[in-house]
Structure 1
């Protein structure tokens, strides 16, 4: 659902906020990069799709007018930057700088929309693991899943996860190992 807009040179982006990230439409990126064809960015993506992850691009069904819905390709800020890396237009270099500046601002924003329930679940899971010598496979798997949910559903700051891990000294290395194993699986 569009919430606000950004501008690059003469192009006004309608931002789509999804999964607590900002996404840009392929059509808006094409305009910003100076392409005449509206599907130029989609063509760039299709030629280089093996370099994009699922966190960089998606397709959405959006209402166009009345009951008509169209499929729209959207890109995260990282995905938009990668598109600009493949672009050979004169605006591409400036666009790359601009999108990185926007990304930097997003990263530095206070994390006000965190999911406190998930964070509390992670704290309780860490406490359970740190209090027991022997954990079952299911308990360790549940902890890994809690980290996955935190990462996916909440814009939790890395330092909060770090604080959570280090607050349980007796099993800190064990919990950190589980978290790092989750990180490797996500990438």
Structure 2
């Protein structure tokens, strides 16, 4: 990881944890394309256990359905990489944990190939991020990073997900 990006992510993660402490809320993550990197960024900060409740890595559709209770018909109708699934993941993470705020992402990190690495409708670099919080409207963002590299898509997703969490927390 680029040192500048790593430093920015570390700073954002510390800010999210501080904002959670200030609001008195516990945090959970539900990650697909990042494979736990958001939770990893948060738990890399000493003392994070006072607000980090748990992280769900739901890479498969079955995991999204089983762990987060994402309705199978949403995945079947809209696809795993969609606004509806990202929102359902964030809301499901909150419902299926002891947290009050949930950060979720689902996307196509790449590289493009014949085994599901992007299409014209859902290209490599397409990521949906959602942040849900008890008694708040769920935030969503569709990111189109482009085919900038798998690691770079994942890093950009972590950075932008943490920024969205800060917005939800009013920080």
Flag the structure with larger Rg. Answer: 1
Per the shorter chain, which TM-score range? under 0.3
Under a length normalisation based on structure 2, what TM-score does the superposition of the two structures give? 0.26
Structure number with greater CO (CA < 8 Å, separation at least 6) is 2
